[in-house]
């Protein structure tokens, strides 16, 4: 498994489509800040949109473009005319909200939704994705680095087909469309990250780390054997690098050290075990590489802000309230 597959396997992200927007004439979407475990996203199906948000420069979106906000910031999409938005109507077709204005020949279609990140995985995932990620599915072959253009072209083609399927489901609203759209949203997340990791400007963090082939042996070791006592010299040896070269490459791609990533992998696994098993705290600590229960308790609280026991209680309370 490659690094991105390992992250997606460890972090079971789910998705949901909330609103389909069909606009003709002036329009605007005002999106407030997201909850701590949510990533808001928009898929432009037809027309042109302008994006304003604090995480980056204003941006023009074209059909097939996807924008997601791992940083959770409030943002605005609009038609770029500067005119007040036309009055819209809101209807509900089964479980999908449809927002529309009077359609014309230059209509715009947008799908708006969100991805849900499990609580045990927020730091591993959200901390290491850019605050704003824009993926151009239909222009992948133009964005890719020379040695990755074939992979990016294939990923972009698949992403474009997935978006088209989402458009059809949103329009037709046949039996099971709500569940289908939600499953397609989760696939959208994985494909968007794949394409984001293949372009030559993959942002520092998980996406840059995922496309760094030289570091894959170390990443495989960290994900497959997080309980092992990995040292920087040993990880560097796996990658056929000196210790200094390994540190430079890893920190340059990820933005943090290999030791930091190992801790986050361990804490993510521990959080999931606390939520889903009856293993004792000491057993879970040992399973992720801590021989001392006290050391695991300190590390978990420093990483998560609460003790392992409290984490388990909160997870059970959250499940009971759903």
pLDDT tier at 247, thresholds 50, 70, 90: very high
Q: Which fold has domain 212-321?
A: Arc Repressor Mutant, subunit A (1.10.10)
- Lay out the sheet containing 65-69: strands in order across: 89-93, 96-100, 14-23, 108-116, 38-46, 65-69, 133-136
Q: What is the 3-state secondary structure (H, E, C) of 21-39?
A: EEECCCCEEEECCCCCCEE
Phi, psi of 2 (to 5 degrees): -80, 170
Angstrom distance (rounded) from CA 204 to CA 209:
7
- 213: tokens are 């082939």
Pick the CATH number of 3-201 from 2.60.120, 1.10.3470, 2.60.40, 1.10.620: 2.60.120
Q: What is the mean pLDDT of residues 38-51?
A: 92
Rounded to 10°, the helix 258-276/216-224 angle is 30
Please give the biggest Cα pair distance in the chain. Answer: 67
224 or 103, which is more confident? 224
Confidence at residue 61, expressed as pLDDT on a 0 to 100 scale: 92
| Lowest-confidence region among 19-23, 65-69, 151-155, 274-278 | 151-155
List pLDDT tens digits, range 60-79.
998 889 999 999 999 999 99
Mean pLDDT across the stretch 132-136? 89
Q: What is the pLDDT of residues 306-318, one digit of tens each?
A: 999 999 998 887 7
What is the average per-residue pLDDT within 140-158? 52
Tell me if domain 3-201 and domain 212-321 are identical in fold: no
User: Residues 138-166: what's their mean pLDDT?
Assistant: 61
pLDDT per position as a tens digit, 195-228:
888 776 778 899 999 889 899 999 999 999 999 9
pLDDT level of residue 154 (50, 70, 90 thresholds): low
Q: What is the pTM of this model?
A: 0.85
Label the pairing between strands 14-23 and 96-100: parallel
Q: Which of 240, 287, 288, 245 is CA-nearest to residue 264?
A: 288
Residue 6 has pLDDT above 60, yes or no: yes
Q: Return mean pLDDT, the chain.
A: 86
**Using 50, 70 and 90 to split pLDDT, how confident is the model at 171?**
confident
Distance CA 261, CA 258 (A): 5
Between 138 and 125, whose confidence is greater? 125
- Ramachandran angles phi, psi of 283, nearest 5°: -65, -40
Q: Quote the tokens at residue 157.
A: 């083609």
Domain boundaries, the chain: 3-201, 212-321
Question: How much is the CA Rg of the chain, to the nearest whole Å?
Answer: 21
pLDDT tops 60 at residue 105: no
Q: What are φ and ψ of residue 111, in 5° steps?
A: -100, 130
Contact between 87 and 23 (Cβ < 8 Å) = no
* pLDDT on residue 16: 86
> How far apart, in whole angstroms, are the C-alpha atoms of residue 94 and residue 125?
32
From residue 40, give the alpha-carbon distance in Å to each of 25, 68, 100, 104, 198: 24, 6, 20, 28, 22
Residue 245 DSSP SS3: helix
pLDDT, position 261? 95
Mean pLDDT of 93-109: 75
């Amino acid at each position: 498994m490659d690094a991105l597959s390992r992250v997606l396997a460890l972090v079971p992200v789910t998705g949901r489509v909330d609103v389909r927007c069909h606009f003709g004439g002036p329009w605007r979407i005002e999106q407030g800040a997201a909850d701590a475990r949510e990533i808001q996203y928009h898929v432009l199906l037809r027309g042109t949109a302008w994006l304003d948000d604090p995480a980056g420069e204003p941006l023009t979106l074209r059909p097939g473009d996807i924008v997601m906000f791992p940083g959770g910031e409030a943002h605005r999409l609009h038609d770029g005319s500067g005119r007040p938005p036309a009055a819209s109507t809101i209807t509900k077709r089964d479980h999908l909200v449809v927002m529309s204005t009077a359609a014309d020949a230059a209509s715009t279609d947008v799908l708006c939704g969100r991805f849900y990140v499990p609580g045990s995985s927020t730091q591993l995932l959200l901390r290491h994705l850019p605050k704003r990620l824009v993926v151009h599915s239909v222009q992948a072959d133009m964005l890719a680095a020379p040695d990755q253009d074939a992979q990016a072209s294939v990923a972009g083609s698949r992403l474009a087909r997935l978006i088209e399927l989402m458009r059809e489901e949103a329009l037709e609203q046949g039996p099971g469309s709500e569940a289908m759209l939600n499953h397609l949203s989760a696939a959208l997340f994985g494909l968007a990250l794949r394409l984001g990791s293949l372009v030559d400007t993959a942002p520092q963090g998980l996406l840059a780390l995922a496309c760094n082939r030289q570091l894959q042996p170390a990443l495989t070791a960290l994900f497959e054997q997080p309980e092992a006592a990995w040292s920087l010299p040993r990880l560097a040896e796996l990658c056929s690098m000196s210790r200094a070269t390994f540190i430079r490459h890893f920190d340059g791609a990820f933005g943090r050290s290999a030791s930091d990533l190992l801790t986050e992998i361990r804490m993510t696994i521990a959080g999931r075990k606390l939520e889903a098993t009856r293993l004792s705290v000491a057993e879970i600590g040992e399973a992720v590489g801590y021989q001392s229960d006290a050391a695991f308790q300190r590390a978990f609280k420093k990483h998560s802000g609460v003790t392992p026991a409290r984490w388990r209680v909160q997870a059970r309370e959250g499940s009971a309230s759903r």
